[in-house]
Structure 1
Amino acid sequence: MSYRDLVTRPVITLAAVTVAARLPVAMAPLAVVLLVRERPGGYSLGAALAAVYVIGEVAGASLLGPRLKAARARYAMALGLTVGALAFAGLGLGAQAHPLVLGVLAAVAGAAPGAVPGGFRALLTSLVPEDGVAQAFSADAIVSYGVWAASPALATWLALGVDPVVPMVLAAVLMALATAGLWALPVGWPADETDRGGVSMARTLAAVWPLYLTGAAGLSLLALAELVLPALLEQRGIALGWAGPMLAAYALAGAVGAYLYGLRTWPGSPERQSLVLLVAVALVVGASAVAPVAGGIAAALVVAGLLQSGVQIARGLSLKNALPPSAFAAGYSMMYAAVGAGYAASAVLAGVVQSVAAPSTAILAGAALCLVLTAASAVGERRGSRLRARMRLAGAGAEGAAVDGRRDAECGL
């Protein structure tokens, strides 16, 4: 299947609704910092609000995602987006409110739409044929990288060039538009709640924990690239103004990598592709820490972006292969929570290491942590594959026994 085959009305509509819902999320951490920066202790307050927002995202995805049902997906996602829009509007209109009030609004803005990313991914899976899922995930990654590349510049321009409140108002409007756009999409997706064979949703999701671990590892590297890069440039005596173009190049390279991934079928299973590419990304990011000049750092980030998009797509395909359809939305939501947790954990690690060592050491420590998480994921995935194979074999045996029993009963009639 080619990218051209994806150009259908439902897929294009979903892409537009996804952009409207995803852009506020991408703008929020920076926009909330710019919103309160002129208040006393504004930058500290902004950093705290951004952290609360991310925690809200992780909590919302992990708590609301598993409860999203296919038959009622539209209404649940509409409610989440509506509450998120109101929370963003509250942040904009109450910029001078007490920090505790702003913290509650930031947490709600992050948590309320928590089930939406998983729901959109499950909906996308249902809108394309089986042989087009890889291309659909690649196209979704291209859209995602485009949004994340544009959002910092948009938030900064609106906050500094117009008014700090404007990014929040725009976020509220976009989420409201995404809510309305849901009615141009299917109500949900086909899913048989009995396809888990009697296994609870919690146990079904827990069985694929190695994939969540790779998600956390992958986003930990992105956190390193974003948060430690300015300090690394300063350590190397390079102008800080290069940080923006380098991160933009990273995002654009990710979009190119996503496009290339969807052009053909690559060797190995998605699980193996994800692990191999993640190791490569960790090594490349580690190389950026020892590069002495701006060109070397920029080249390492571009290569990391190219490979990171492959990790993201292969991880999504692995999750789809490992879960029954009724658990798709919940699984994708848990992955969203895992990558958010990985980003936050890496940010904390980078801050702790930088307090006692050079920025380059912080990057190397983060890359080493990613390799450890990847190794643990590989071991867990191997054991999980064996367990799932035994479960499938046992299920086939039980089904065969049931069929034989029915035949015996029919013969006795």
Structure 2
Amino acid sequence: MTLTDSPTSSARTTYGAVLGSPHVTRLLGGTLVGRLPNGMAPVAIVLLVTTDGGTLAFGGLLSALYGLASALSQPVKGQLMDRHGQTRVSGTAAILNSGALLALPTTSSPAVAVMIVVLGGLAAPPLEAGLRALWPSVLPDPVRRHTALALDTGTQGLLYITGPLLVAALTTAHSPALALAVTAALGLAGTALILTAPPSRAWKPVSRGPSRTSDRLFSSRLVALFAALVGVGVAIGGMNVWSVAMAERHDADLLAGVLPAAFSTGSCIGGLLYGHRTWPGTPTRQLLTGTVGFALGWLPLLTLPTPAPATAAAIVPGAFLTLIVARAFTITDALAPPRRTTEAYAWLILSIGVGQAAGAALAGRLADHPHTLAALPAGGAALALAVLLLARPGRSPACPGRHRHHQ
């Protein structure tokens, strides 16, 4: 996979300059607030079920259905956004999603609860893909755009640290129903903050050209990229279950949350370091470098470390995750047809989500085999690296990178 930019320079910028650019702080902040339900809703759903006397198995099923419906519907929502704009799609989705979260505590029927969480997941607004589509018009300078993308990607870990903690606090202080109500309100508020911003209101889909040939989305290189990201997702999903197994093995429930939090902290740190400057090498080379670091970072788990070393070790692969995801978005932008950019971003997000689900499911089957379970994250990362290496035919023509401006 020979991709797609000329080598980047080592130009520098500052976070102050990026955040001080018009609309950047509002878009970043609105997206983080609007996506907090991604970290809050699954936990709040489980707590709602168990607090009302339901089983943990049913709560877990509802939580999984919510996440799966949200992931699988990403490409459809991205395609709709490319056709109809951000306001109509994300606005409608946010209203439906919040309505479903508010309705869930009012039912005692398991069948109705399943329908509500599936609807809520399907309607989760595609804020991440939408934000990535806005960056070229908000930040025409490629150096500042690079920093914003790294900052955007790196801070995603905060969603999965802050969200569950906020749900736990609201449930302890009042009830899971209140936690779901706050989740719904935050989703609406964040989405409204983005959709009322001038860049989102001005963004329009690229009109169809005279030929439909250029609208083909799934080139071999994009398919290879998405397949590699499935491997990245497998590593993350396996790590989440491995964390629970570590907590059980060491009789320390807190580890189930501390280890993923350490991984997310590494992602935040890596994002800040990566976004502080641009780095030499093409996006493909940077993606490969990040994937190598990601794979090597999981190797200490093979020794079945004790909690403290395991927590420190989880930071390392997290630090490379931002580089992988940020460069994957850059490459996707260069390879996707202009009028299907948001849909392509949504497929990228879906690829990681599918990998996470597969990794979690496979890890559950390996729970009684500690060494094999500990090797699963490294195995997923190795799969990603192998796909990228096999998909780099030197004979493939490099095409110049592009950044589309939606007028």
| TM category, shorter | 0.7 to 0.9
Q: Determine the structure 1 residue equivalent to 2:72.
A: 59
Q: Determine the structure 2 residue equivalent to 1:374.
A: 385
Residue number among 313, 316, 332 corresponding to 2:329 in the alignment: 316
Change (3 A) 1:75 1:325: same
After superposition, give the CA deviation of every residue in 1:64-97 in whole Å (9 maximum; x if it has no partner): 21232266222221111111111111123x2x42
Instruction: Return the alpha-carbon distance in structure 1 between the equivalents of residues 219 and 109 of structure 2.
Output: 39
Instruction: Return the alpha-carbon distance in structure 2 between the equivalents of residues 316 and 85 of structure 1.
Output: 28
Residue number among 40, 49, 74 corresponding to 1:27 in the alignment: 40
Query: Which runs of 5 or more residues in structure 2 are unaligned?
Result: 1-12, 401-407
**Identity within the alignment, %:** 25
In the alignment, is residue 249 of structure 1 matched against residue 227 of structure 2? no
Q: Determine the structure 2 residue equivalent to 1:344.
A: 357
Instruction: Return the alpha-carbon distance in structure 1 between the equivalents of residues 119 and 219 of structure 2.
Output: 25
Instruction: Return the alpha-carbon distance in structure 1 between the equivalents of residues 84 and 42 of structure 2.
Output: 33
Structure 1 residue 143 displacement after superposition: 2.9
Query: Which runs of 5 or more residues in structure 1 are unaligned?
Result: 393-413
Residue number among 277, 296, 305 corresponding to 1:292 in the alignment: 305
Structure of higher CA gyration radius: 1
Q: Determine the structure 2 residue equivalent to 1:91.
A: 104
Q: Determine the structure 1 residue equivalent to 2:234.
A: 220
In the alignment, is residue 280 of structure 1 matched against residue 296 of structure 2? no
Q: Determine the structure 1 residue equivalent to 2:175.
A: 163
Structure 1 residue 56 displacement after superposition: 0.7
Q: Determine the structure 2 residue equivalent to 1:209.
A: 223
Q: Determine the structure 1 residue equivalent to 2:10.
A: none
Q: Determine the structure 1 residue equivalent to 2:145.
A: 133
Letter in 2 for 1:368: G
Q: Determine the structure 2 residue equivalent to 1:116.
A: 127
Q: Determine the structure 2 residue equivalent to 1:411.
A: none
Letter in 1 for 2:32: V
In the alignment, is residue 151 of structure 1 matched against residue 163 of structure 2? yes
Letter in 1 for 2:230: A
Residue number among 25, 44, 47 corresponding to 1:12 in the alignment: 25
CA RMSD after TM alignment: 2.5
Paired residue secondary structure (2:291): helix
Change (3 A) 1:217 1:165: same
Structure 1 residue 388 displacement after superposition: 5.8
Instruction: Return the alpha-carbon distance in structure 2 between the equivalents of residues 196 and 33 of structure 1.
Output: 50
Report the number of matched residues: 384
Paired residue secondary structure (1:203): coil
- The answer on whether the counterparts of 1:32 and 1:46 sit within 8 Å (CA) in structure 2 is yes
Change (3 A) 1:74 1:26: same
Paired residue secondary structure (1:239): coil
Residue number among 181, 184, 187 corresponding to 1:175 in the alignment: 187
Of structures 1 and 2, the one scoring higher in RCO (CA 8 A, sep 6+) is 2
Letter in 1 for 2:370: P
Instruction: Return the alpha-carbon distance in structure 1 between the equivalents of residues 207 and 137 of structure 2.
Output: 16
After superposition, give the CA deviation of every residue in 1:42-71 in whole Å (9 maximum; x if it has no partner): 211111001111121122102221232266
Between 335-344 and 277-286, report the one with greater CA deviation. 277-286
Instruction: Return the alpha-carbon distance in structure 2 between the equivalents of residues 205 and 179 of structure 1.
Output: 32
Tell me the TM-score normalized by structure 1: 0.85
- The answer on whether the counterparts of 2:228 and 2:387 sit within 8 Å (CA) in structure 1 is no
Q: Determine the structure 2 residue equivalent to 1:44.
A: 57
Instruction: Return the alpha-carbon distance in structure 2 between the equivalents of residues 98 and 202 of structure 1.
Output: 44
Greater fraction helix: 1
Letter in 1 for 2:390: V
